[in-house]
């Protein structure tokens, strides 16, 4: 598939739809290489990859694509994003531990935040989907991170583990993220709500921890 003159984010999303939803892995990777190169990692995530995932879900729920196409597209994207994890980390950078709540398998937003934090020099300890809270607490005791980010689509996923999150908040700053992160559940868990899209949120965290956001002009990506 050739991609002449594509510039607008919607065009890139269309190109992902045309390739990934036709089970064309090579074509999908080619589009991703171009979009990362042209837009840079942060804008590619914010304007193309994450909105594309949202659109995939809409097409799946409307019945215009099947589960196989949705799974295929998300697996290709997951493999690609995992290559970006850890890129730019500095050994003396602040440490963040990132995990999805138990039962939560939607991890792309969390991955995007981990990627952007590492590009800002953070060390990102990414625990990923469906992380038991006892394991999260154990990891935080061992690593003493500057910040913990936990994500869930439903507020009940946080509320069900409020006592454990509240205990964790006693020793480190816990940020609740994604659609389930309401003010009410954050208060219940003694945590802070992390607003905004995953890229914006990573930059906000970086600033909150006293670092200025560099002008990232290096668009080097995989
Ligand atoms: C990919 C996907 C999956 C993959 C996930 C793979 C993976 N490794 O992550 C798999 C196949 C596992 C999956 C499973 C399921 N899924 Co699903 N999935 C999606 C899909 C297509 C994309 C999700 C995604 O990553 N979006 C990108 C994120 C970044 O966008 P977002 O979710 O809108 O999040 C916004 C904010 O909340 C915020 N944000 C999100 N995460 C984070 C994290 C941080 C740190 C920060 C700061 C911000 C942030 O950023 C976004 C705005 O920019 C969505 C469609 C959609 N509309 O999103 C459905 C969707 C979320 N899934 C849905 C459903 C129903 C399911 C299943 C129940 C299906 C089933 N019957 O098994 C299971 C549940 C699994 C579970 N227990 O968690 C529904 C949820 C409906 C609802 N209202 O709750 C959706 C909306 C599809 C739909 N249109 O119906 N899914």
DSSP class per residue in the chain: ---TT--SHHHHHHHHHHHHTTT-HHHHHHHHHHHHHHHHHHHIIIIIIHHHHHHHHHHHHHTSS-HHHHHHHHHHHHHHHHHHTTTT--TTS-EEEEEEPTT----HHHHHHHHHHHHTT-EEEEEESS--HHHHHHHHHHH--SEEEEE-SSHHHHHTTHHHHHHHHTTSEEEEESTT--HHHHHHTT-EE--S-HHHHHHHHHHHTT-PPP--------
The whole-angstrom separation of Cα 82 and Cα 124 is: 12
pLDDT tops 70 at residue 216: no
Task: Pick the closest to residue 93 from 191, 193, 214 (CA basis).
Answer: 214
User: Rounded CA gap, 194 and 200, in Å?
Assistant: 10
Using CB atoms within 10 Å of the CB of residue 26, give its burial: 0 to 12 exposed, 13 to 18 middle, 19+ buried. Answer: exposed
pLDDT per residue as tens digits for the range 149-202: 999 999 999 999 999 999 999 999 999 999 999 999 999 999 999 988 999 999
Instruction: Kindly report the pTM of this predicted structure.
Output: 0.94
Instruction: Give per-residue pLDDT as tens, 2-52.
Output: 554 667 999 999 999 999 999 999 999 999 999 999 999 999 999 999 999
Ligand 1 centroid to 5 CA: how many Å?
A: 31
Take atom 84 of ligand 1 and give the residue whose Cα is closest: 153
Please give all residues whose beta carbon lies within 6 A of any atom in ligand 1, as ranges.
Answer: 50, 53-54, 56-58, 61, 70-71, 74, 78, 103-110, 113, 149, 151, 153, 177-179, 194, 197-198, 201
Q: Can you give the pLDDT at residue 209?
A: 86
- Domain ranges within the chain, ordered by starting residue: 9-84, 95-208
Mean pLDDT rounded to a whole number for the chain: 93
CA–centroid distance, residue 199 to ligand 1 (Å): 16
Q: Once rounded to an integer, what is the mean pLDDT over residues 56-80? A: 97
Compute the distance between CA of residue 95 and CA of residue 80 in angstroms, rounded to an integer.
Answer: 23
Choose one of 21, 58, 106, 112 to mutate for the ligand 1 pocket test, by most ligand atoms within 8 angstroms of C-beta. 106
User: Does the structural domain 9-84 have CATH classification 1.10.1240.10?
Assistant: yes
Band of residue 222 on the pLDDT scale cut at 50, 70, 90: very low
Q: For residue range 114-133, what is the model confidence (pLDDT) as tens digits?
A: 999 999 999 999 999 999 99
pLDDT at 7: 73
Give the CATH superfamily of 95-208. Answer: Cobalamin-binding domain (3.40.50.280)
Q: Is a pLDDT exceeding 70 seen at residue 221?
A: no
């Amino acid at each position: 598939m050739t991609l002449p003159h594509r510039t607008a984010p919607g065009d890139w999303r269309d190109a992902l739809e045309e390739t990934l939803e036709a089970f064309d892995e090579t074509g999908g990777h080619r589009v991703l290489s171009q979009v990362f190169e042209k837009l840079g990692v942060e804008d590619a995530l914010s304007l193309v990859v994450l909105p594309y995932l949202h659109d995939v879900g809409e097409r799946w729920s409307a019945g215009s694509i099947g589960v196989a196409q949705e799974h295929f597209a998300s697996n290709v994207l997951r493999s690609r994003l995992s290559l970006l994890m850890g890129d730019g980390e500095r050994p003396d950078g602040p440490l963040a531990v990132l995990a999805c709540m138990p039962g939560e398998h939607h991890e792309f937003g969390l991955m995007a935040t981990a990627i952007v934090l590492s590009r800002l020099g953070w060390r990102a300890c990414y625990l990923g989907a469906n992380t038991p809270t006892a394991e999260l607490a154990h990891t935080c005791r061992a690593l003493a991170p500057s910040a913990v980010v936990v994500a869930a689509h439903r507020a009940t996923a946080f509320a069900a583990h409020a006592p454990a999150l509240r205990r964790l908040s006693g020793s480190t700053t816990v940020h609740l993220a994604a659609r389930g992160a309401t003010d009410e559940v954050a208060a219940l868990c003694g945590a802070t709500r992390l607003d905004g899209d995953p890229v914006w949120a990573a930059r906000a965290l970086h600033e909150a921890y006293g670092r200025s956001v560099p002008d990232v002009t290096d668009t080097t990506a995989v």
